[in-house]
Structure 1
């Protein structure tokens, strides 16, 4: 469920510069995420996100990255065409709370999309991304480098939404995969819907060996069922 927000005051001119400076001074931007932790856990609010980038590879990478790290910005849609993004924002049923947009795009660019949204949907937070962020001069629009980490984008969204839970959010360290190749392969086969007999034939082992691989995997992962083991592997992108 997404969190409703009060009307926002979009940063203009010097305020936008101050927002960039605050982001640059945040623990994540300073590269100290590993040693930093929030004062105490805050109830984490979640927001819907729309992504616009005319490069389909970049678009896909961004969308998958937000999902992979379980970011509190949940991708509602992603478009290569800014006009499609505008139509989605202009429809109450598909309008996200945050829009992440590339700046230089053919047709309607990120600046124009930002102006339209600020005029018609002032509650929508817009964040720009660009290969050359310092060259983008658009009052009120904060632009991050395209190589920014998901944490930095979430933190900036938190600043613009005035939501401390986003400002304090950080990625949990990736969990190390403790499974052997055979255990991982077995769970991957089960995730594809294969039977124990089929897996045994595919891996050239006995059915009892397949079951042993599953038992070992469950023990290593601290779960009680094959389904739980598969879910954990998928969640951590191991399979």
Structure 2
């Protein structure tokens, strides 16, 4: 069962999602929050932290994108899916830069949201079809090059295993695929990914792929 959190300033939407997920053997809602600041504080409190967060964008006190930025800085292993009505390029791109794992529109059916949660937990980047096209264009053409002095994965002091996993991630492999190919558990993959993100100073798989492509790693 996947531990999740729902963050939205509309209580009715939270209740609707909870009702839709009720009885599901796939997810368990460990907390809800009505704004980004509350979500950041709940993550700091622990001890029951979610593996995946469904996050709205426009909220009082702290918006969802800033909440993503702060949560990913402290808990890079946590997957965060934006769940919003906004499909404009600026919000999509800012969410990706902040470290969002996926981006869904609120019109998605509960079954699709559940599948997105499972995908995000396994290292995929779930997106609504309309969003995916815009995001792909952005990642290929618009994402600015990270300014770093080192340009080889070895320069980041990765272990041999971390380098192997990094190569798999850069090729677009999911966590289950990495685990199967390297004969290790999925949790071990997640632990290594956490360390890789810290060493590369990235917040998401999208940044890993972009960094590898920009520096022509593994070619």
Name which one, 1 or 2, has greater alpha-carbon Rg: 1
Task: Give the alignment's TM-score, normalised by structure 1.
Answer: 0.46
Q: How high is the TM-score relative to the length of structure 2?
A: 0.49
